[in-house]
């Protein structure tokens, strides 16, 4: 089972970023939608099995940063090679920067 999860931390405020809409997409098709909870997490996103391939997580950061946010949207493309693995994609967010990595 391919499990996709994410966690968004507001690095400037030093707290989780709650209320960010997140979409999981593949080949232009939306596979799942989620919303970061009070801990900044989407604990499960997507179907139970994701075949090997390229996927995207789209974070609607304008919903969190507001209309003047420099990054209204963050798109993270990633590749699944092992459909049995857990894929955790965290975001560290601030008003003028963000970073991501393969989490555990």
What per-residue confidence (pLDDT) applies to 2?
Answer: 61
Position 3 confidence tier, pLDDT thresholds 50, 70, 90: confident
What per-residue confidence (pLDDT) applies to 34?
Answer: 96
User: Does 5 score more than 70 pLDDT?
Assistant: yes
Boundaries of every domain in the chain: 4-100
Rg (CA), the chain: 13
Query: Helix (H, G, I), strand (E, B), or coil: what is residue 16?
Result: strand
What superfamily does domain 4-100 belong to in CATH?
Answer: Transthyretin/hydroxyisourate hydrolase domain (2.60.40.180)
Query: Distance between CA atoms of 24 and 46, rounded to whole angstroms?
Result: 7
pLDDT tens track for 34-93: 999 999 999 988 777 789 999 999 999 999 999 888 999 999 999 999 988 889 999 999
User: Does 101 score more than 90 pLDDT?
Assistant: yes
């Amino acid at each position: 089972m391919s499990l996709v999860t994410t966690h968004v931390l507001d690095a400037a405020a030093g707290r989780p970023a709650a209320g960010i809409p997140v979409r999981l997409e593949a080949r232009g098709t939306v596979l799942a939608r989620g919303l970061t909870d009070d801990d900044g997490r989407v604990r499960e996103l997507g179907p139970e099995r994701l075949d090997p391939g390229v996927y995207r997580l789209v974070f609607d950061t304008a919903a969190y940063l507001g209309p003047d946010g420099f990054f209204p949207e963050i798109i993270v493309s990633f590749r699944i090679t092992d459909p049995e693995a857990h894929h955790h994609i965290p975001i560290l967010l601030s008003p003028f920067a963000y970073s991501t990595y393969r989490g555990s």
